[in-house]
Amino acid sequence: MVSQESDGIWVTLKEVIAANHEEVFACLTTEAGLIRWFPVTCSVDLRTGGSITLGMDAKFRRRHTLPILDYDPGGRITWGWSPGVDELVVPIHWTVTPDVEEGSRVIHRHGPFTADMEGALLAANDAESWRWYLCNLKAVLEAKVDMRRERPL
Protein backbone atom coordinates (compact mmCIF):
# COMPACT_ATOMS: atom_id res chain seq x y z
CA MET A 1 0.00 0.00 0.00
CA VAL A 2 1.23 3.48 -0.85
CA SER A 3 -0.17 6.29 1.31
CA GLN A 4 0.36 9.99 1.84
CA GLU A 5 0.98 10.97 5.45
CA SER A 6 1.85 14.28 7.07
CA ASP A 7 5.60 13.83 6.49
CA GLY A 8 5.41 12.44 2.93
CA ILE A 9 4.59 9.28 1.02
CA TRP A 10 5.00 5.87 2.68
CA VAL A 11 5.00 2.30 1.40
CA THR A 12 3.58 -0.27 3.84
CA LEU A 13 3.60 -3.96 2.95
CA LYS A 14 2.32 -6.71 5.25
CA GLU A 15 2.68 -10.46 4.98
CA VAL A 16 1.94 -13.44 7.20
CA ILE A 17 4.55 -16.17 6.79
CA ALA A 18 4.04 -19.70 8.12
CA ALA A 19 7.50 -19.92 9.67
CA ASN A 20 9.14 -19.41 13.05
CA HIS A 21 9.68 -15.79 14.11
CA GLU A 22 13.43 -16.27 14.63
CA GLU A 23 13.88 -17.86 11.19
CA VAL A 24 11.97 -15.05 9.46
CA PHE A 25 13.89 -12.35 11.33
CA ALA A 26 17.20 -14.05 10.50
CA CYS A 27 16.27 -13.64 6.82
CA LEU A 28 16.49 -9.86 7.37
CA THR A 29 19.54 -9.77 9.61
CA THR A 30 22.03 -12.52 8.69
CA GLU A 31 24.12 -13.33 5.66
CA ALA A 32 22.72 -16.86 5.32
CA GLY A 33 19.16 -15.61 5.75
CA LEU A 34 19.38 -12.72 3.28
CA ILE A 35 20.98 -14.87 0.58
CA ARG A 36 17.99 -17.22 0.71
CA TRP A 37 15.63 -14.65 -0.84
CA PHE A 38 17.27 -11.35 -1.80
CA PRO A 39 20.97 -10.86 -2.76
CA VAL A 40 23.27 -13.49 -4.29
CA THR A 41 25.89 -12.81 -1.64
CA CYS A 42 26.24 -10.38 1.26
CA SER A 43 28.06 -9.36 4.39
CA VAL A 44 26.42 -8.10 7.58
CA ASP A 45 27.72 -6.01 10.48
CA LEU A 46 24.62 -6.46 12.66
CA ARG A 47 24.32 -3.50 15.01
CA THR A 48 22.87 -0.02 14.99
CA GLY A 49 25.47 1.92 13.00
CA GLY A 50 26.60 -1.23 11.18
CA SER A 51 25.82 -2.10 7.59
CA ILE A 52 24.64 -4.74 5.16
CA THR A 53 26.46 -5.04 1.86
CA LEU A 54 24.33 -6.78 -0.75
CA GLY A 55 26.06 -8.49 -3.66
CA MET A 56 23.66 -8.70 -6.57
CA ASP A 57 26.06 -10.94 -8.53
CA ALA A 58 28.33 -13.77 -7.38
CA LYS A 59 31.54 -11.76 -7.84
CA PHE A 60 30.33 -8.80 -5.76
CA ARG A 61 30.70 -6.40 -8.73
CA ARG A 62 27.15 -5.03 -8.38
CA ARG A 63 26.78 -4.21 -4.73
CA HIS A 64 24.82 -1.92 -2.48
CA THR A 65 25.78 -1.02 1.08
CA LEU A 66 22.88 -0.26 3.39
CA PRO A 67 23.42 1.39 6.75
CA ILE A 68 21.66 -0.25 9.69
CA LEU A 69 19.86 2.74 11.21
CA ASP A 70 18.26 0.83 14.08
CA TYR A 71 18.34 -2.75 15.36
CA ASP A 72 16.33 -4.54 18.05
CA PRO A 73 17.12 -8.28 18.22
CA GLY A 74 13.53 -8.90 19.34
CA GLY A 75 12.25 -8.37 15.81
CA ARG A 76 12.93 -4.88 14.42
CA ILE A 77 15.58 -3.58 12.03
CA THR A 78 15.76 -0.41 9.96
CA TRP A 79 17.83 -0.29 6.79
CA GLY A 80 18.83 2.85 4.93
CA TRP A 81 17.68 2.13 1.36
CA SER A 82 18.71 4.03 -1.74
CA PRO A 83 15.96 3.96 -4.39
CA GLY A 84 18.54 4.88 -7.04
CA VAL A 85 18.12 8.66 -7.20
CA ASP A 86 21.21 10.71 -6.44
CA GLU A 87 22.22 10.09 -2.85
CA LEU A 88 18.68 9.78 -1.48
CA VAL A 89 18.36 7.30 1.41
CA VAL A 90 14.88 6.29 2.52
CA PRO A 91 14.57 4.13 5.66
CA ILE A 92 12.94 0.71 5.48
CA HIS A 93 11.52 -0.33 8.85
CA TRP A 94 11.10 -4.11 9.14
CA THR A 95 9.08 -5.58 12.02
CA VAL A 96 8.65 -9.32 12.55
CA THR A 97 6.30 -10.46 15.29
CA PRO A 98 5.38 -14.02 16.26
CA ASP A 99 1.84 -15.19 15.60
CA VAL A 100 0.95 -18.36 17.52
CA GLU A 101 -1.57 -19.58 14.95
CA GLU A 102 -0.03 -18.41 11.69
CA GLY A 103 3.75 -18.17 12.21
CA SER A 104 5.07 -14.63 11.79
CA ARG A 105 3.71 -11.26 10.77
CA VAL A 106 6.09 -9.15 8.70
CA ILE A 107 5.61 -5.42 8.21
CA HIS A 108 7.80 -3.51 5.77
CA ARG A 109 7.36 0.26 6.21
CA HIS A 110 9.36 2.42 3.83
CA GLY A 111 9.52 6.19 3.71
CA PRO A 112 8.94 9.03 3.75
CA PHE A 113 9.29 9.89 0.08
CA THR A 114 8.68 13.48 -0.99
CA ALA A 115 5.01 14.35 -1.53
CA ASP A 116 5.43 15.33 -5.18
CA MET A 117 5.17 13.42 -8.46
CA GLU A 118 8.81 12.27 -8.34
CA GLY A 119 8.39 10.97 -4.79
CA ALA A 120 5.11 9.24 -5.68
CA LEU A 121 6.72 7.51 -8.65
CA LEU A 122 9.73 6.40 -6.57
CA ALA A 123 7.42 5.06 -3.85
CA ALA A 124 5.24 3.18 -6.35
CA ASN A 125 8.26 1.67 -8.10
CA ASP A 126 9.81 0.58 -4.79
CA ALA A 127 6.46 -0.82 -3.60
CA GLU A 128 6.23 -3.02 -6.70
CA SER A 129 9.78 -4.36 -6.28
CA TRP A 130 9.52 -4.90 -2.54
CA ARG A 131 6.16 -6.69 -2.90
CA TRP A 132 7.88 -9.17 -5.24
CA TYR A 133 10.77 -9.71 -2.83
CA LEU A 134 8.44 -10.08 0.16
CA CYS A 135 6.48 -12.73 -1.78
CA ASN A 136 9.78 -14.44 -2.56
CA LEU A 137 10.65 -14.48 1.15
CA LYS A 138 7.29 -16.14 1.83
CA ALA A 139 7.80 -18.67 -1.00
CA VAL A 140 11.30 -19.56 0.21
CA LEU A 141 10.22 -20.09 3.81
CA GLU A 142 6.88 -21.81 3.18
CA ALA A 143 7.29 -23.72 -0.09
CA LYS A 144 11.11 -23.89 -0.29
CA VAL A 145 10.90 -22.28 -3.76
CA ASP A 146 13.14 -19.36 -4.69
CA MET A 147 11.25 -17.38 -7.33
CA ARG A 148 14.50 -15.70 -8.45
CA ARG A 149 15.26 -18.98 -10.22
CA GLU A 150 11.74 -19.37 -11.60
CA ARG A 151 10.87 -15.79 -12.56
CA PRO A 152 13.60 -13.24 -11.90
CA LEU A 153 12.57 -9.67 -11.17
What is the DSSP annotation of 72-91? Answer: ETTTEEEEEE--SSTT--EE
List the CATH number of the domain containing 83: 3.30.530.20
Q: Are 97 and 21 in contact (CB under 8 A)?
A: yes
Quick: pLDDT tens for 101-126: 889 999 999 999 999 999 999 999 99
The pLDDT value recorded for residue 94 is 98
| Angle value at C-alpha 11, between 21 and 101, nearest 5 degrees | 25
Give dist(CA 134, CA 2) in Å, integer: 15
Decide which of 148 and 27 is more confident.
27
Residue closest to 81 by CA, chosen among 71, 69, 95: 69
- Domain region containing 71: 2-150
> What's the half-sphere exposure (Cβ side, CA atoms, 13 Å) at 56?
6
Q: Are 104 and 98 in contact (CB under 8 A)?
A: yes
Residue closest to 140 by CA, chosen among 36, 53, 66, 19: 36
Quick: pLDDT tens for 56-67: 877 778 888 999
Query: What sign for the dihedral angle of Cα 136, 138, 140, 142?
Result: negative
Count of the separate structural domains present in the chain: 1
pTM of the entire predicted model: 0.92
What does the pLDDT average to over 15-29? 97
